[in-house]
Amino acid sequence: MPTYPFLTDLVRALPATVPFVGPEALQRMRGRPFRARLGANESVFGPSPKSIAAMEAAAASAFMYGDPENFELRAAIAKHHGVSIENVAVGEGIDGLLGLAVKVAVAPGEVVVTSDGAYPTFNYHVAVGGGRLVKVPFRDDKEDLGAVLDAGRAENAKILYVSNPNNPMGSWWSAFEIEGMISALPPTVLFCLDEAYCDTAPPAAVPDIDISNPRVLRFRTFSKAYGLAGARVGYALGEAGLISIFDKIRNHYGMSRSGQIGALAALADQDYLAETVGRIAAGRDRLAQIARENGLAPLPSATNFVTMDCGRDGTYATRVLDEIIARDVFVRMPGVAPLNRCIRVTVGTPDDLDVFAEVLPEALRAAQG
Amino acid sequence: MPTYPFLTDLVRALPATVPFVGPEALQRMRGRPFRARLGANESVFGPSPKSIAAMEAAAASAFMYGDPENFELRAAIAKHHGVSIENVAVGEGIDGLLGLAVKVAVAPGEVVVTSDGAYPTFNYHVAVGGGRLVKVPFRDDKEDLGAVLDAGRAENAKILYVSNPNNPMGSWWSAFEIEGMISALPPTVLFCLDEAYCDTAPPAAVPDIDISNPRVLRFRTFSKAYGLAGARVGYALGEAGLISIFDKIRNHYGMSRSGQIGALAALADQDYLAETVGRIAAGRDRLAQIARENGLAPLPSATNFVTMDCGRDGTYATRVLDEIIARDVFVRMPGVAPLNRCIRVTVGTPDDLDVFAEVLPEALRAAQG
């Protein structure tokens, strides 16, 4: 008899791989800390001071469960977007909500379409749900909306996944183009639009919210521009009946009380968000300049990171990455060709970027030598 | 075409019910706050002051994701229990981990055995996974270990679930009896032992940890005696290979950084835990005394609550409950006969219990009148 005779066939067949190795694990392997943490697309500018103060004040009340309905936070998010509270689901980051979306629509063996090199954690959730992933290539470093649609039709897909702006390339489509895709969706598909980076994008890249479409879910987060990655607060916007389906399957007590309170205060401080977005834009410019000064080609970015074309293949870019990490700067790179000719660097503080500017030429010399 | 043509058959068939309506929702419905919150089995004594201080200090670093491996917390938990870090999985409360355990072992249509009236959130996760629940009755207000075993054998179950101590009755089995059950498990079953309340139980109710058994998972939490319900930190103890399976299916970035830090500090302050457990024991005695003074029969309890037999049927106990809630005290009651002849009252501060002592006789008079 096998050691774990109770395992389902699905779980038995899953690989042991994880979506990402975290910077803490890298530090443990290396035996020393990073000088700059520029690989996880966090906001080094932190959350709003008002959010910090709210979380500090909430620490002593951590003995109480958070409201399982996330009522106050959902009400505030709804007001912010001009929709109703029934149009908002809150979850443990976009990651948690993507897992739920897969559960909603994908039975084992059913097809999900994404782009080859797009968000690995989404792919992970599809595998956990037993779905079959169909991946279409990027085109010109952008997710190819037409190819996603075509594959969705050809494969009778249950979910189409698009991120806009895109991680890991930083590219984006206009609202017009995304709306065009939505209007062309096959009638039986659920469209998951991951807008984790929309707060740092040009307004023209973010479609108006048509909350009446029962086949579109838009995913947002407090982890990026709002600076609350550690609080694990994401949300989905959608038609009320669609959003209510999350209540059938979610972990109702999955949100921390501190996260609910911190996100509520962060959302209320739009001035700080605007200030952060300005600092991120300045950081992107500086990163692009550092890239160019070192002979790398920075890709245009609507996110809080800059992806830099190292000009050769994935082997070379991996060498560059390894040499940067060896110099105690945490960065990442896309995992799939041809995107993996690049490295991806998150915006840091001016001091962080000084460190990167110091380290990059050394790393390039070492990678070339 | 249906409005949500992409829904899986499983999700389409799920009910819209939720495991619990939270106290915040009750307050919104009532339009006024509770005077005492004695229904959610939280610890009103709060987390360790060192844990509070650690979470306050961590608020400003909420912009960083928590370590997806939960390394430091798992290492500390392992050391605390004298096991290896590979024997520990951390998740978003026991609720989150129970959902994962169901995913590990239960394919749609497969059987899970629990007791009728035991933890509703476990049943919820079984339904979400498409499992078929088989419920055996309590016996003498305790989960009937023999009946669970018998049903497991008769139904070829994938999971047997037992809580020890038990919620909602407060009852418990000795370690000897639990170990006897484990030795009699059908060879293909996964045994889920929910020990959320073990920190307030007599030591003789908690079996030694045999970490070599690959078919037993034990679930612990920081939500009860440690006073961190709002932080959403639970953990599972088990054989290393079994524990590693969680890595295939869990939300790797599901834990808040604040929760990781708060739990680590709480675990390190065992003196505060011992002090809290003493205060909980004193509160149980006081609750039992209040019950007796009002003609109710308090059940023996190894938990942080006291279940009180109102001496009639479920209709009467519901009336008592409603009258208590109408007087602004949040309490709950078991949902299933014959357990629902009782109400369940969490230990509160001395002030909270004064409020309960004031309200209970009025509520009983109203319920009888």
List the CATH number of the domain containing A336. 3.90.1150.10
Nearest to B52 among A28, A60, A247 (CB): A60
Predicted pLDDT of residue A17 = 75
Same domain, A257 and A278: no
Closest-CA distance, A97 to chain B, in angstroms, reads 10
Q: Is residue B15 part of a domain?
A: yes
Predicted pLDDT of residue B2 = 78
Predicted pLDDT of residue B168 = 98
Integer Cα distance of A298 and A353 in angstroms: 15
The residue among B244, B269, B294 that closes a domain is: B269
Predicted pLDDT of residue B21 = 87
Nearest to B231 among A69, A248, A256 (CB): A256
- Residues in chain B closer than 8 A to A264 (CB atoms): none
- Residues in chain B closer than 8 A to A119 (CB atoms): none
Q: Is residue B178 part of a domain?
A: yes
Nearest to B232 among A7, A16, A253 (CB): A253
Integer Cα distance of B19 and A259 in angstroms: 22
Distance of CA B60 to the CA centre of its chain: 31
Integer Cα distance of B2 and A187 in angstroms: 10
**Position B235 pLDDT exceeds 90:** yes
Q: Is residue A165 part of a domain?
A: yes
Kindly give, in sequence order, each residue whose CB lies less than 8 Å from that of residue A43, ignoring residues fewer than 6 positions away: A224, A225, A226, A227, A229, A276, A280, A304, A347, B63
Integer Cα distance of A96 and A89 in angstroms: 11
Q: Is the Cβ–Cβ distance between A115 and A135 less than 8 Å?
A: yes
Token duo for residue B63: 């912009």
**Position B17 pLDDT exceeds 80:** no
The residue among B222, B241, B269 that closes a domain is: B269
Q: Is residue A3 part of a domain?
A: no
- Residues in chain B closer than 8 A to A187 (CB atoms): 1, 5
Same domain, B107 and B255: yes
Q: Is residue B31 part of a domain?
A: yes
Integer Cα distance of B64 and A43 in angstroms: 8
**Position B19 pLDDT exceeds 90:** no
- Residues in chain A closer than 8 A to B7 (CB atoms): 104-105, 245
Q: Is the Cβ–Cβ distance between A66 and A253 less than 8 Å?
A: yes
Nearest to A44 among B63, B215, B227 (CB): B63
Q: Is the Cβ–Cβ distance between A77 and A256 less than 8 Å?
A: no
* Residue of A90, A87, A120, A127 whose CA lies nearest to A106: A127
* Contact yes or no for B245 and A4 at CB 8 A: yes
Q: Is residue A2 part of a domain?
A: no
Q: What is the β-pairing status of strands B234-237 and B216-221?
A: antiparallel
Same domain, A276 and A313: yes
* Contact yes or no for A46 and B67 at CB 8 A: no
The residue among A223, A249, A269 that closes a domain is: A269
* Contact yes or no for A6 and B69 at CB 8 A: no
Helix pair angle (A23-30, B71-81), 10° resolution: 70
Same domain, B261 and B283: no
The values of phi and psi at residue A284, to 5°, are: -60, -45
- Residues in chain A closer than 8 A to B128 (CB atoms): 103, 248-249
First to last CA, chain B: 54
Integer Cα distance of B151 and B143 in angstroms: 13
- Residues in chain B closer than 8 A to A190 (CB atoms): 4, 6
Integer Cα distance of B243 and B217 in angstroms: 8
Instruction: Provide the domain count of chain B.
Output: 2
**Position B1 pLDDT exceeds 70:** no
The residues with which B204 forms a beta bridge, in sequence order, are none
Residue in chain A lying closest to B43 (CA): A63
- Residues in chain B closer than 8 A to A5 (CB atoms): 187-188
Q: Is residue B4 part of a domain?
A: no
Average pLDDT over residues B313-338: 97
Closest-CA distance, B152 to chain A, in angstroms, reads 13
* Residue of B297, B360, B291 whose CA lies nearest to B326: B360
Q: Find where tokens 């501060």 sit.
A: B349
Q: What is the pLDDT along chain A (369 residues), one digit of tens a residue?
A: 678 999 999 999 999 877 788 999 999 999 999 999 999 999 999 999 999 999 999 999 999 999 999 999 999 999 999 999 999 999 999 999 999 999 999 999 999 999 999 999 999 999 999 999 999 999 999 999 999 999 999 999 999 999 999 999 999 999 999 999 999 999 999 999 999 999 999 999 999 989 999 999 999 999 999 999 999 999 999 999 999 999 999 999 999 999 999 999 999 999 999 999 999 999 999 999 999 999 999 999 999 999 999 999 999 999 999 999 999 999 999 999 999 999 999 999 999 999 999 999 999 999 998
Same domain, A203 and A303: no
Same domain, A103 and A174: yes
- Residues in chain A closer than 8 A to B158 (CB atoms): 6
Same domain, B128 and B214: yes
Nearest to A62 among B18, B20, B231 (CB): B231
Helix pair angle (A350-368, A270-293), 10° resolution: 30
**Position B23 pLDDT exceeds 90:** yes
Give the CATH number, domain containing residue B103.
Answer: 3.40.640.10
Same domain, B154 and B73: yes
Question: A272 in helix, strand or coil?
Answer: helix
Calculate the average pLDDT of chain B: 97
Q: CA angle, A209 as apex, A207 and A214 as ends, to 5°?
A: 115
**Position B193 pLDDT exceeds 90:** yes
DSSP A337: T
Residue in chain A lying closest to B72 (CA): A24
**Position B83 pLDDT exceeds 80:** yes
B25: number of Cβ within 10 Å: 15
Same domain, B119 and B91: yes
Integer Cα distance of B225 and B273 in angstroms: 7
A253: number of Cβ within 10 Å: 24
Q: Comparing A40-49, A321-330, B20-29, B257-266, which segment has the lowest mean pLDDT?
A: B20-29
Closest-CA distance, A260 to chain B, in angstroms, reads 10
Same domain, B225 and B276: no
Same domain, A18 and A64: no
How many CA atoms within 13 Å lie on the side-chain side of B105?
A: 32
Predicted pLDDT of residue A1 = 67
* Contact yes or no for B254 and A43 at CB 8 A: no
Q: CA angle, A125 as apex, A120 and A131 as ends, to 5°?
A: 110
Q: What is the β-pairing status of strands A88-91 and A234-237?
A: antiparallel
Closest-CA distance, A368 to chain B, in angstroms, reads 33
Same domain, A131 and A237: yes
Q: Is the Cβ–Cβ distance between A316 and A186 less than 8 Å?
A: no
H or E element in which residue A192 lies: strand A190-194
Q: Find where tokens 């739009």 sit.
A: A270
Q: What is the β-pairing status of strands B159-163 and A329-330?
A: unpaired
**Domain interval for residue A292:** 9-46+271-368
Integer Cα distance of B197 and B306 in angstroms: 12
Residue in chain A lying closest to B59 (CA): A52
Token duo for residue A323: 């040499």
Closest-CA distance, B365 to chain A, in angstroms, reads 31
* Contact yes or no for B245 and A28 at CB 8 A: no
Q: Is residue B254 part of a domain?
A: yes
